[in-house]
A = this chain, B = another copy of it.
Amino acid sequence: MFKINEKPTIKDIARLSNSSIATVSRVLNNVDYPVSNELRESILKVAKELNYKPNIYGRMLKGGQSKEIGLLIPNISNPFYSELVSGVERICIKRGYTPIICSSYNDKKLEKKHLDTLLMKKVDGILASIIGDSADIIREMKLENSKYVLFDQNHNDDSCYSISYDFENSGFIAASYLLNQGLEKIAFLSTPFDRKSRQEIFEGFKRAFRLKGKTFSEDYLIVEGLPENEIEQNAEIQNGIHLTKIMLQKIGKPEAIVAINDITALGVIQELANRKITVPDDISLISFDDIPLAEMVTPKLTTVRQPAFQIGKIGANMLIDRIENMYEGKKSIIIEPELIVRKTVMEKE
């Protein structure tokens, strides 16, 4: 018999089926190779009896693919990213890969450590939304000539495959919609513009004003941030509360508010409610992302959809296509945002 309490190997199968490891390997891998039916049956029978499971490490050593991809994100418990992950997962399931999910919790050291782990595991590729020095991370991935695709990154590096939203247009859509409802005193609430995305949304926002022949007064730009530390998972909502307080103090009640994302918008609603100010009756509110929550809360959020699930799916397909050397699309994919009208903006009747 084979070793007690040890996993059976092809050797055991070979012995018990009176054949050789080579033949067993051929049969089990269903490789296109002539094997007598009799032997084949016998081998399969023994394999089944032993409840044989191949040892992937033996296989990997021969230089196989790990069929794993790394997924480097800031925080799995942020609904935006858990949606993104979900999209990646679906594609991975369909295409036979396992995603290794790593949250860096806004800790650059940890992010680097995760990267090292992934590289060591020799994952077939990496999907990353980097919080730290992206140049650094990219360099390392290149060094290991790992395949990778970046989400929404601040990279100036043309050599990277990436996927992102058209943030400028997002901002434009939001502002245009408000202006079209006759709302003009609009406050823009955001955490600091340290990510390109936020700056771009603001640029599009201003473009909408320009196009209507109006000017945006910088007094209405409220940018402030608790230092970005998402370990406190409700940091973003705290930002919304904080920004609202500052806004009310600086400029009083505007007609409408643009919040940099849905979670921030939730904070805005909460702080306004504290002061008996109702959305949308007293102030209209629009934000960005359209996380699933957006239509679960009351009132349902009017928002500009930047679909996390979809970007996850597209990104995963892009990466796997690259891994399998069949990617033929563009190096940089841009997803167009979409206005989702719900209940937080008072519409002109």
- Once A82-B82, A298-B297 are accepted as A-B contacts, the answer to whether A57 and B54 lie under 8 Å apart by CB is no
Cβ contact within 8 Å between B77 and A86: yes
Q: How many Å from the CB of A114 to the closest CB on chain B? A: 9
- Give the interface segment out of A12-20, A36-44, A118-126, A318-326: A118-126
Whether A5 is near chain B, meaning CB under 8 Å from some CB there, is yes
- Give the interface segment out of A148-156, A171-179, A193-201, A266-274: A266-274
Cβ contact within 8 Å between B273 and A234: no
- Once A57-B57, A61-B58, A296-B234 are accepted as A-B contacts, the answer to whether A110 and B93 lie under 8 Å apart by CB is yes
Whether A292 is near chain B, meaning CB under 8 Å from some CB there, is yes
Cβ contact within 8 Å between B144 and A117: no
Cβ contact within 8 Å between B61 and A89: no
Contact count band on A: 35 or more
Cβ contact within 8 Å between B298 and A53: no
Chain B residues with CB under 8 A of A83: 77
Whether A345 is near chain B, meaning CB under 8 Å from some CB there, is no
Copy total for this chain: 2
Chain B residues with CB under 8 A of A217: none
Cα of A144 to Cα of B143 in the assembled complex, Å: 38
Cα of A79 to Cα of B93 in the assembled complex, Å: 21
Cα of A57 to Cα of B65 in the assembled complex, Å: 12
- Once A120-B56, A293-B293 are accepted as A-B contacts, the answer to whether A85 and B89 lie under 8 Å apart by CB is no
Q: Output the nearest chain B residue to A59 by Cβ-Cβ distance.
A: B57
Q: How many Å from the CB of A132 to the closest CB on chain B? A: 16
- Once A110-B93, A144-B53 are accepted as A-B contacts, the answer to whether A234 and B82 lie under 8 Å apart by CB is no
Cβ contact within 8 Å between B86 and A53: no
Q: Chain A interface (Cβ within 8 Å of chain B)?
A: 5, 7, 51, 53-58, 60-61, 75-77, 79, 82-83, 85-86, 89, 93, 98-103, 110, 116-117, 119-122, 143-145, 233-234, 237, 263, 266-267, 269-270, 273, 292-293, 295-300
Q: List 28 A-B contacts (CB under 8 A).
A: A53-B116, A53-B119, A53-B144, A54-B120, A55-B122, A56-B120, A56-B122, A57-B61, A58-B61, A75-B86, A76-B82, A77-B82, A77-B83, A77-B86, A79-B79, A79-B82, A82-B82, A89-B103, A93-B110, A98-B100, A98-B121, A100-B100, A234-B292, A267-B296, A270-B298, A270-B300, A273-B299, A293-B293
